[in-house]
Chains A and B, each alone.
Chain A
Amino acid sequence: MNRRVALQALLLLLVAGVFVAAFLNARANLEARNMPTSFAFLWQTAGFGMNQSVIPYTPLDSYGRALLAGALNTLIVSVVASALATLVGFAVGFSRLSSHWGLSRLAALYVETLRNIPLLLHLLFWYIVLLTPLPAPEHSLSLGGVLLNNRGLYFPFPGLGWPLFDPARNAFNVEGGLRLAPEAAAMILGLTFYTASYIAEILRAGVQAVPRGQIEAASALGLSAAQTRRLVVLPQALRVALPPLISQYLALTKNSSLAAFIGFADLMQVSGTILNQTGAALQTLGVDMALYLGLSMLTLALMRRFERGSEWGAR
């Protein structure tokens, strides 16, 4: 017993020692490099622009607001891509399970190929695929008020008006309307098709975990194939698939941090700029970590509650 206490005390002492040494070094280094040590920079003027933001943001706003805009960009792209990835993933997963040989081989090919290619390559690919064939703003493709060019997709939107290219007002870009920039579109497409390959496998594993007897029993009861799938297989498969599915959504959110490579202003990209401009490395990365960790913990806690509360969890 005494040995255990001594061991733990030693360990804690060691960890504390490392922390103190790191703290002292950091203090000396920060001072030597003239780096800020407080969070005061969050209220200073950011001074850099951001091309897409859901909240009003101009270079005159503060670093704190820039971080918030970046975090919201991360959140929106992640939610949209998660929803689309689930759709595509389920389609591929069911194709993989199809009794049709060709369809199931094709789905297998999709899964094996796409998930063995790094996500970064997916994003770079979608970015040039979106940019290369699209016309310049002055030759925008137009359909029912919706404009499409290599600067984005513009929708009419209440309050923002109709998108319009008017050389007299702006010789370079379409003005007005709600805009989806190519960076955001490439992020969503890349994340969707990459994550879908994982979700397809999760769905397949879930369906295969449903005992054969269940399906046989359903068909003995006279349920059609479609009814069996909807009423018997899917509910049980989802119960198995839910935890890995949630961790895929979290992985997708973390993966959206690759945005900086294709010029999308997500949390990490904005942080990188702030870090470069202010030198507040500790504080900026601290905020990032708090946000990412907070999001995963919140999701996991919700999931645990949901599992405990719902009949899905009781197995």
Chain B
Amino acid sequence: MSDFLRAEFLSPLPPPPARGKSWREKLFGDARATAITLGLLVAAGLLLPPAVRYLFIDAVWTAPDGALCRAPGAGACWAYVAAKLPFFIYGAYPQPWRVNTAFLLALVLIVWLLRPRAKYKNYALGGFFIGLPVVGFILLHGAPALGLPVVGTNLWGGALVSLIMALAGMTAALPGGVALALGRRSKLPALRWLCVGTIEFVRGAPLIAVLFMANVLLPLFLPPDWAPDRLLRPLFGIALFASAYMAEVVRGGLAAVPLGQSEAAAALGFSRWQGLRLIVLPQALGAVVPGIVNNFVALFKDTTLVAIVGLFDFLHAIETARLDPAWAGPQIALTGYIFAAAFYLGFCLAMSSYARALEGRLAEARR
């Protein structure tokens, strides 16, 4: 009747192997596997040698200017990356030590926060969300009273701008996202609809549109003499955008906390606010740390879009440096793009592998 049913029995399969397959069996176990393996080997043989030649053997490692890189047959022009590295990192910022200090501080705080068993995390939290913005602003923008001359944001550029955008976005997105997510669960319809409206409006829009709005509309809605700084406006847009996406992640976390938890907290005499702060939120946020980190990865990649409002982020700095007549040549663009790809890949992979490790630990803890 149905062609799903067999008329006769199949011969029994061999028993499963005692241990896992050997690599030989994995790659050449049957005809299909062998064909795939051979195909992959041929492809690798065709693609890898030119890539290695381009990236390493034919690459120009040191050169005073672009003449060597322009020679026919030259590979990647790493000398250009080396020569332009300060511009890629600081833009036109005059005193690199101030940038370095600020980022060292951020790095220390982040490592402190990310280490699972580190002590005094409350201080690190305070440092990250309050101390870092204040100190970072004083260091980077300057405070004449402290002997730090003011550096206008028109001189900021490169990785400095990318990282500021990403860090500020993260610092704003977490509290912003929690607030929006809590508002979305509120029993007050007015508050709930306000939060739902904000979240859905921002999530429905492309980041470019949000940046345009922050850049063009924000000054319109503010009194004429308030005109926010050109770095501040996109920062506001990014913070809003990241908060809306973060709110959805946090909402998932809040939904995962059993109702019994807040009921138990109430039974123990916690006020609603105490129960939320001490019982529900820690569990909710803990459950979605991987989601939060993945959000940060997306945010970091999205910082490349601030070029649309005229900021010199890392990628835009590379795009601009490409036009230096001393270096201009056929290999410069590709070299710059490979370097940029490595930069973003490095940061994002570090973040997402942290998220994955944490995911493993959480799964283990739940078991």
Q: Which residues from chain A sit less than 8 Å from chain B, CB to CB?
A: 4, 7-8, 11-12, 15, 21-22, 25-26, 28-30, 32, 98-103, 106, 112-113, 116-121, 124-125, 128, 132, 221-223, 254-255, 257-258, 260-261, 268, 271-272, 275, 281-282, 285, 288-289, 292-293, 296-297
Given A117-B341, A257-B206, A293-B204, is A272 in contact with B212 using a C-beta cutoff of 8 Å? Answer: yes
Closest partner residue, chain A, to B192 (CB atom)? A8
Given A222-B10, A268-B206, is A102 in contact with B37 using a C-beta cutoff of 8 Å? Answer: yes
Q: Which of A7, A25, A112, A125 is close to B220, meaning CB atoms less than 8 Å apart?
A: A25
B349 to chain A: which residues have CB within 8 Å? 112, 116
Is A100 touching B206 in the complex (CB atoms < 8 A)?
no
Is B315 touching A116 in the complex (CB atoms < 8 A)?
no
Is A254 touching B206 in the complex (CB atoms < 8 A)?
yes
Is A101 touching B206 in the complex (CB atoms < 8 A)?
no
Interface string of B188-201 (1 = CB under 8 A from A): 11110010000011
Q: Which residues from chain B sit less than 8 Å from chain A, CB to CB?
A: 4-6, 10, 23, 26-27, 32-33, 36-37, 40, 187-191, 194, 200-201, 204-209, 212-213, 216-217, 219-224, 297, 301-302, 304-305, 307-308, 315, 319, 330, 333-334, 337, 340-341, 344-345, 348-349, 352
Is A11 touching B23 in the complex (CB atoms < 8 A)?
no
A124 to chain B: which residues have CB within 8 Å? 315, 319, 337
Q: Which of A100, A119, A121, A261 is close to B36, meaning CB atoms less than 8 Å apart?
A: A100
Is B220 touching A281 in the complex (CB atoms < 8 A)?
yes
B334 to chain A: which residues have CB within 8 Å? 128
Q: 11 A–B contact pairs at CB < 8 A?
A: A4-B188, A29-B224, A100-B27, A100-B32, A101-B23, A116-B301, A258-B208, A261-B308, A275-B212, A281-B216, A293-B204
B191 to chain A: which residues have CB within 8 Å? 8, 11
Give the distance to chain B from A92, nearest Cβ to Cβ, in Å.
Answer: 14
Q: Which of A11, A113, A125 is close to B190, meaning CB atoms less than 8 Å apart?
A: A11
Is A7 touching B216 in the complex (CB atoms < 8 A)?
no
Q: List the 4 closest pairs (A to B, CB-CB), nearest first.
A: A116-B348, A254-B206, A257-B206, A22-B221
Give the distance to chain A from B363, nearest Cβ to Cβ, in Å.
Answer: 14
Closest partner residue, chain A, to B338 (CB atom)? A125
Measured CA separation A124–B337 after assembly (Å)? 8
Is A116 touching B344 in the complex (CB atoms < 8 A)?
yes
Is B219 touching A29 in the complex (CB atoms < 8 A)?
yes
A293 to chain B: which residues have CB within 8 Å? 200-201, 204-205
Is A118 touching B33 in the complex (CB atoms < 8 A)?
no
Q: Which of A22, A132, A223, A268 is close to B209, meaning CB atoms less than 8 Å apart?
A: A268
Is A254 touching B205 in the complex (CB atoms < 8 A)?
yes
Give the distance to chain B from A310, nearest Cβ to Cβ, in Å.
Answer: 23
Measured CA separation A255–B298 after assembly (Å)? 12
B189 to chain A: which residues have CB within 8 Å? 8
Closest partner residue, chain B, to A30 (CB atom)? B220
Given contacts A282-B217, A285-B209, A285-B217, 5 further A-B contacts (CB under 8 A): A8-B191, A11-B190, A29-B219, A99-B33, A128-B333
B207 to chain A: which residues have CB within 8 Å? 254, 257
Is A113 touching B304 in the complex (CB atoms < 8 A)?
no
Is B27 touching A289 in the complex (CB atoms < 8 A)?
no
Is A26 touching B220 in the complex (CB atoms < 8 A)?
yes
Given A8-B189, A100-B33, is A125 in contact with B209 using a C-beta cutoff of 8 Å? Answer: no
A32 to chain B: which residues have CB within 8 Å? 224
Give the distance to chain B from A94, nearest Cβ to Cβ, in Å.
Answer: 12
Q: Which of A98, A118, A272 is close to B302, meaning CB atoms less than 8 Å apart?
A: A118
Closest partner residue, chain A, to B222 (CB atom)? A25
A102 to chain B: which residues have CB within 8 Å? 27, 36-37, 40
B219 to chain A: which residues have CB within 8 Å? 29
Measured CA separation A103–B33 after assembly (Å)? 9
A255 to chain B: which residues have CB within 8 Å? 206
Is B208 touching A268 in the complex (CB atoms < 8 A)?
yes
Q: Which of A100, A281, A292 is close to B217, meaning CB atoms less than 8 Å apart?
A: A281
A29 to chain B: which residues have CB within 8 Å? 219-220, 224
Measured CA separation A281–B212 after assembly (Å)? 9
Measured CA separation A257–B210 after assembly (Å)? 11
Is B307 touching A292 in the complex (CB atoms < 8 A)?
no
Give the distance to chain A from B303, nearest Cβ to Cβ, in Å.
Answer: 8
Give the distance to chain B from A116, nearest Cβ to Cβ, in Å.
Answer: 4
Measured CA separation A297–B196 after assembly (Å)? 14
B200 to chain A: which residues have CB within 8 Å? 293
Given A120-B304, A222-B10, is A8 in contact with B188 using a C-beta cutoff of 8 Å? Answer: yes
A116 to chain B: which residues have CB within 8 Å? 297, 301, 344-345, 348-349, 352
Is B212 touching A285 in the complex (CB atoms < 8 A)?
yes
B337 to chain A: which residues have CB within 8 Å? 121, 124-125, 128
Give the distance to chain B from A86, nearest Cβ to Cβ, in Å.
Answer: 21
B5 to chain A: which residues have CB within 8 Å? 221-222
Is B6 touching A222 in the complex (CB atoms < 8 A)?
yes
